[in-house]
Amino acid sequence: MQTNAARIYEALAERIIAGRLPPGRKLDEQALADAFGVSRTPIREALRELAARGLIETIPRRGAIVASIGLPRLADMLEAECELEALCAKLASQRMSALEKSQLAELHASTRPMADKPDRAAYFTANSAFHAMICRGTRNETMGETIATLRDRLAPFRRTQSESIEERLHRSWEEHDAILTGILAGEPEAAYAAMRAHNARLAGGVMRVLEHRQRGTSRKAA
């Protein structure tokens, strides 16, 4: 079950990324606690998560302030994730054991009903497990930790897409299928290309939506 802090974090992250909580807006703990009908404890936990992902800043004597989303920096992070995770798929195709490949295939198969339903929460949980399993398959802890940090930072942005949830989950499943095919076949270049294409599509979608929103915000400010 989702905790209050996680629920509040997701709600605030979505509002910040959508521009409904603009840069510079102060987030008052008590006001948020009243709005969400909770104590200040889960509010503080949610704010710590937002700060860890760069969505808010904590300023002495001012408290939590919505940060400005720097699109150039975000683009850098998305590009790094795209290239590094593609390399992970390449290495995993060569280094994963037969048992690990079988487990990856089973996990992927289990997500098809989630995409068909569609069950957004279940699919995203399984999606994270799919990517994490590939990163572990590289046998490179430094690379795995770096990817995990990037995916964690980018998670709230990556959910910003223009497609419907049905379209998004089906496209994701099909792209995962191509990644899995390359890994199971032990074809490093195919695994690399499939993962890179998957992440590049998602990154492009995120940037298009956020750029459109920033242009809209700029026009309103003018």
Whole-number pLDDT of residue 22: 87
* DSSP type of residue 40: H
Question: Can you give the pTM of this predicted structure?
Answer: 0.80
pLDDT at 20 (0 to 100):
85
| Identical topology for domains 4-66 and 71-216 | no
Architecture of domain 71-216: Up-down Bundle (1.20)
Residue ranges of domains in the chain: 4-66, 71-216
- pLDDT 10s digits, 158-201: 877 767 888 999 999 999 999 999 999 999 999 999 999 999 99
pLDDT-derived band at 155, boundaries 50, 70, 90: confident
Are the CB atoms for 78 and 154 separated by under 8 Å? yes
Q: What is the pLDDT of residues 70-86, one digit of tens each?
A: 888 899 999 999 999 99
**Whole-angstrom distance, CA of residue 16 vs CA of residue 142:** 31
Specify the residue for token string 């975000």: 74
Q: Which architecture does CATH list for 4-66?
A: Orthogonal Bundle (1.10)
Per-residue pLDDT band for 218 (boundaries 50, 70, 90) equals low
Buried b (16+ CB within 10 A) or exposed e, 114-151: bbeebbeeebbebbeebbebbbbbbebeebbebbeebb
Q: What are 91-129's pLDDT values in tens digits?
A: 999 999 999 999 999 999 999 999 999 998 899 999 999
pLDDT tens string 29-55: 999 999 999 999 999 999 999 998 888
